[in-house]
A and B are shown apart, each in its own frame.
Chain A
């Protein structure tokens, strides 16, 4: 394996693997909805779409046409913290792919007609993921309620009015600020000679000048003083319950303990919450959770899907009783061992494919500051003690530091009140 820092500050990491004649590429940009401001939310995500829509060298559509004609496929995603561009291609397309990737970092061009058409695409994506989706609709409100100062309160896809109003100047300013080589980390895994990959990366990316680093996100979310609650009524059959607890940043040394806690609570049929809420008491039909691991302290989510007619209040009380027990007593040695083993197998499953390798390399470099830490992960998983896990549970699973979201079908009596909106229609 090889890693290099180009003269302009861009990081390149290469992992040669020769199982299949292909390469996976992840280009990480340190820009997400965390870097946005009111009135222009969703810009990082919209920008991700525009990165496929033409440069001064290649007109709109050419990026995909050229890559696919050489056997490559691509995608991208945006989160609160980062925007990540992914390519999967046959080894002999490496030069073309690096050429295309560097071209859009150096020479992106904006065509007004394409901006308008892409605005429609993003609006459609929002209807799919938020407006016609109970989970998305509720999560957006919970996230916006959990933070009062930090930009993590913005939905990554953007508020509807902002989607309608982005201007060309917003895109140009975003490009200048964040799409600098010193703000990028490129991870490659697959059928490639590391020396050659780094030489090609130098050839294509090094001519792009470094820029002043983007302004830091200075907002610090103040301590949450009390539980916050959101209730949505929507035309639906099944209720939802989402709990978002304030949680540490990705680089926090307690990270492995947080992940094992989450696993002990919701991963698999033997997990604490699945067994208690889905199997024993049948209050929920599914439990799930995830930790939003970012540059700044974020959220640990626990979500319950309830059956039709299910009582969110009864489910919440049962959930709270389970969590209080874990915060007080931790989990059993068997539960901890199970979480450790599941985490280890999960790591190996990702490492079995070049896609997972490239993704993990980038993730560790960007969020943990150092890709070789990836190889310490098994040891760090093994080292988490029962006491550490209990301490993390006691700290995070504090009702005062959570936001509780409930979605009930609009006809239901739960959370009774005179109002009947907001609903999804016409949103």
Chain B
């Protein structure tokens, strides 16, 4: 028994809305996932964070309800409703009791078609997002390291922008920015709507058609994405976190895109390199040396190639030792490759684990939205076991060469006590330095932007 895409209905409204209905009746819940193509791509290049604030505003008043009334009605029936922006889409998700499915669709239609986009709510939300970034710097700097890393690696390419916004960009965004985004980037052909769970499919299909079939299309498609250029050579961004007990680091370069044909092999190689507990990276940095609580790697794959990155952390005085070990392990992957036994283990592991993320109606609402967004087709799930079974050592080696960076061509970000680690990180390449409290995620003086238009 394996996991296959469940029976579902896919409808296309005349104006381009894609509607996916997935009945599933194990618990009395329904989940929705509304994906709007565009996301951070629609942000003004100098003002990232508009899509994110707009997403937040969708539930701050819509239709006849102001922000309080909207929250009262959602939570009053035990529902959830939340929106966020990603690099290529705004996603609105939620779950309700099955008895409230009509209400759920009504609220979603209000939020997407009739948001109030209230100016005062915007100011409050932007102020709060700024403070949340500061608070994250105080308590979980490692959580932000990918944002620094993408800014440093991708430069002015859209993937380099902080989708959540930076303290500086959020402070500059006004109601006009948000309104312009809504008018330019929200519309029928951008919407993928997945409804899953204990649903009345006929009723919801009728309601969705009533609600969304007159929504106009957007004036233009989302901005096209160029393939980002990979970094050649090494360079370092040092983010000063005075007094920190540990250095948090990120090492990355441009990887592969969402439709990369060797995806099964990629998953297996990454599992072995930094995707599970016994991975090469975790074995070196945690299990054998005790330097770190953990080390992991992964790929962000979008319409074009996102980043490969690895991340870990170690006590301030061990910064150089841990970075050396991480880079040596990356070099070793390319030099020594993998064995048949390793590949078989990763195959069993991946086959054994992927069904766990495809269990509930909410899981399927998410996955079917992703399949639609990137045009992956149901084979993305249904053919996956067979693809995993077919991966051999030669393909794994090809993936290492195509998708994983060479250890001498990487961007390195270190968040730590600059006074104590500057020498250690300077060993790896030219250093740009900034401070954790700076209101941007990238040093303005960063040179050598490979992606400057």
Task: Please report the total number of A residues contacting B with Cβ < 8 Å.
Answer: 77
A342 touches B292 (CB 8 A): no
Q: Which of B68, B137, B291 contacts A120 (CB 8 A)?
A: B291
**B299 interface contact, C-beta 8 A:** no
Contacting residues, chain A, for B287 (C-beta < 8 A): 61, 117
Question: Given the known A-B contacts A125-B293, A334-B76, are A308 and B134 also in contact in the complex, defined by CB atoms under 8 Å?
Answer: yes
A238 touches B355 (CB 8 A): no
Interface centre among A267, A268, A275, A355 (most CB of B within 10 A): A268
Contacting residues, chain A, for B135 (C-beta < 8 A): 134, 237-238, 285-286, 305
Task: Please report the total number of B residues contacting A with Cβ < 8 Å.
Answer: 71
Question: Given the known A-B contacts A69-B348, A341-B97, A345-B80, are A424 and B29 also in contact in the complex, defined by CB atoms under 8 Å?
Answer: no
A131 touches B245 (CB 8 A): yes
Contacting residues, chain A, for B2 (C-beta < 8 A): 21
Contacting residues, chain B, for A134 (C-beta < 8 A): 135, 138-139
A424 touches B353 (CB 8 A): no
Chain A 131-174 interface mask (CB, 8 Å, partner B; 1/0): 11111100000000000000000000000000000000000000
Q: Nearest-CB distance from B209 to chain A (Å)?
A: 27
Question: Given the known A-B contacts A19-B26, A124-B314, A124-B315, are A119 and B290 also in contact in the complex, defined by CB atoms under 8 Å?
Answer: yes
The chain A residue sitting closest to B121, CB to CB, is A279
Chain B 242-262 interface mask (CB, 8 Å, partner A; 1/0): 111110000000000000000
Question: Given the known A-B contacts A124-B246, A285-B132, are A337 and B76 also in contact in the complex, defined by CB atoms under 8 Å?
Answer: yes
Contacting residues, chain B, for A341 (C-beta < 8 A): 75-79, 97
Question: Given the known A-B contacts A117-B289, A128-B313, are A68 and B68 also in contact in the complex, defined by CB atoms under 8 Å?
Answer: no
Contacting residues, chain A, for B241 (C-beta < 8 A): 132
* Cα of A93 to Cα of B356 in the assembled complex, Å: 15
Question: Given the known A-B contacts A352-B27, A352-B359, are A116 and B76 also in contact in the complex, defined by CB atoms under 8 Å?
Answer: no
* Cα of A401 to Cα of B139 in the assembled complex, Å: 28
Contacting residues, chain A, for B134 (C-beta < 8 A): 237-238, 307-308
A425 touches B243 (CB 8 A): yes
B356 touches A348 (CB 8 A): no
Contacting residues, chain B, for A271 (C-beta < 8 A): 75
* Cα of A61 to Cα of B278 in the assembled complex, Å: 8
A423 touches B243 (CB 8 A): yes
* Cα of A342 to Cα of B29 in the assembled complex, Å: 12
* Cα of A423 to Cα of B136 in the assembled complex, Å: 18
Contacting residues, chain A, for B79 (C-beta < 8 A): 341, 345
Contacting residues, chain A, for B345 (C-beta < 8 A): 65, 68-69
Q: What are 7 A-to-B residue pairs whose CB atoms are below 8 Å?
A: A69-B344, A133-B140, A136-B139, A341-B77, A348-B97, A352-B360, A352-B362
Binding site for A on B (CB under 8 A): 1-3, 26-29, 59, 67-68, 71-72, 74-80, 95-97, 124, 127-128, 131-132, 134-135, 137-142, 241-246, 276-278, 286-293, 313-315, 344-345, 348-349, 351-353, 355-356, 358-362, 417, 437
Known: A19-B359, A68-B276; 6 extra A-B contacts, CB below 8 A, are A69-B345, A69-B349, A73-B353, A133-B139, A285-B131, A353-B359
